[in-house]
Amino acid sequence: MGLFDGKKGLILGVANDRSIAWAIAQKIMEEGGICGFSHLPDRPDDDKQKNRRRVTKCTEKHPESVKFVEPLDVQNDEQIAAFAELTAKEFGKIDFLLHSIAFADMRDLGVDTIETSRGGFKLAMDISVFSLIAVCNAMKGVMNENAAVAAMTYFGGEKCVPGYNVMGICKAALDAAVRYLAYDLGPQQVRVNAVSAGPLKTLAGSAAGVGDMLKLYQHMAPLNRNITHEEVGNAGAYLLSDMSNGITGEILHVDGGYNAMGSPGRLLDAINAAKKQT
C-alpha cells in the first residue's frame, strides 16, 4: 500500500527534471498517485515546444501515473477555468494540488528592491501569489473533502535575504495567502500548507544566485550540509498526503535547520579559523 494509492491530483509548475515540483511529483507517483501536469504555454512560433518537451521528458517515464500534460497560463482566468474543467472531466474530484509557480522579471530581480518597477512588481505578485488564490478558487469545487494544497515558498519571505529582492516580498505575500486560504477552505476539510525549501540547483535557483547560498547554508545550518531534492520531495508529498491530516496554514521548513539559527554558528568558527591561518 502506497501513501497515494487511489489518490488523484495536480502538479503545477514543473519546469524540468531538476524542479522541486518534479521531486514531489515523483514521490507521489512512487506511492501510487495519479497526476495531471501543467506546463508553461509555448509561443505560437515555437515549433519545438520547448516548455512542453521539458515536462513530457519527465512524465513519459511514468506513463501509468500521468493522466495529462497541458499548458496553463495562470495570468489568464479563462485558461484556469478551462484547466479546472479538464481536471473535473479527467479525474472527477482531486485529492491534492501542488502549486510551484513563481516569476519575476530579471530586470527587477537584478536591482535593489527599492528600485523595483511598478509593472515588474505587479507581474511578480500576479504570477507568484495571486495564481495560488485563483487556482484554489477555480478548483474548490473539484477537490474532495480532506484534499490538500501545497505551495512552495522560501525563507526570504520571512527575513531579508539580500539578492532575493522583490521575490522575497512575493513569498511573504504567498505565506499570508496560505494562511487565509487555509481558513477559507477549512470548512470543506481542505488543507493548505507550504514547503519552505533551502537552496537547491534548479532553474529558478540559478536565476536567484543559488551557488553562494549553498555555501552559506552548508556552514550555517545545524545539519552542516545542504538539503537534497529527495528530502524536499518527501516533505512535499507528506503535506499532500493523509499523513498530515490536521495540519493546515503551516510553513514546513526543509533547510537543514537554517531558519532556526540566530547567529552564524559554525560559519563564525570557520571565519575565525581562516583568520588564524593568515
Q: Is residue 184, in this structure, part of any structural domain at all?
A: yes
3-state class (DSSP) for residue 94: strand
Q: What is the pLDDT of residues 63-95, one digit of tens each?
A: 999 999 999 999 999 999 999 999 999 999 999
| Confidence at residue 148, expressed as pLDDT on a 0 to 100 scale | 98
| Confidence at residue 45, expressed as pLDDT on a 0 to 100 scale | 77
Could you tell me the end-to-end alpha-carbon distance of the chain, in angstroms, rounded to an integer?
Answer: 58
Q: Is residue 270 predicted with pLDDT exceeding 80?
A: no
Task: Please indicate whether residue 164 is annotated as part of the active site.
Answer: yes
Q: Is residue 153, in this structure, part of any structural domain at all?
A: yes
| Confidence at residue 162, expressed as pLDDT on a 0 to 100 scale | 92
CA 93 to chain centre: 22
Name the amino acid, one letter, at 44.
P
* Mean pLDDT in residue range 23-37: 98
Which residue in 78, 65, 16 sits closest to 36, CA to CA? 65
Q: Is residue 2, in this structure, part of any structural domain at all?
A: no
* Mean pLDDT in residue range 248-276: 87
Per the structure, the complete domain to which residue 85 belongs is given by 8-277
138: left (phi over 0), alpha (psi -120 to 50) or beta: alpha
Share of the chain above pLDDT 90, in %: 86
Task: Please indicate whether residue 238 is annotated as part of the active site.
Answer: no
* Mean pLDDT in residue range 50-60: 95
Q: Is residue 99, in this structure, part of any structural domain at all?
A: yes
How far apart CA 143 and CA 84 sit, in angstroms, is 10
| Confidence at residue 71, expressed as pLDDT on a 0 to 100 scale | 97
For residue 179 the three cell numbers come to 494562511
Name the amino acid, one letter, at 205.
G
Model pTM score: 0.93
Which residue in 155, 268, 185, 161 sits closest to 219, CA to CA? 268
Q: How many domains does the chain have?
A: 1
Q: Is residue 29 predicted with pLDDT exceeding 60?
A: yes
| Confidence at residue 215, expressed as pLDDT on a 0 to 100 scale | 87
| Confidence at residue 208, expressed as pLDDT on a 0 to 100 scale | 52
Q: What is the pLDDT of residues 162-220, one digit of tens each?
A: 999 999 999 999 999 999 999 999 999 999 999 999 999 765 555 555 677 898 899 89
Q: Is residue 57, in this structure, part of any structural domain at all?
A: yes
Average of per-residue pLDDT values in the chain: 94
| Confidence at residue 195, expressed as pLDDT on a 0 to 100 scale | 98
CATH for 124 = 3.40.50.720
Kindly name the residue from 164, 217, 238, 258 that is annotated as catalytic. Answer: 164
| Confidence at residue 90, expressed as pLDDT on a 0 to 100 scale | 98
| Confidence at residue 269, expressed as pLDDT on a 0 to 100 scale | 75
For residue 67 the three cell numbers come to 493522466
Gyration radius of the chain over CA positions: 19
- Taking the CB of residue 74, how many other CB atoms lie within 10 A of it? 23
3-state class (DSSP) for residue 203: helix
CA 61 to chain centre: 22
Q: Is residue 267, in this structure, part of any structural domain at all?
A: yes
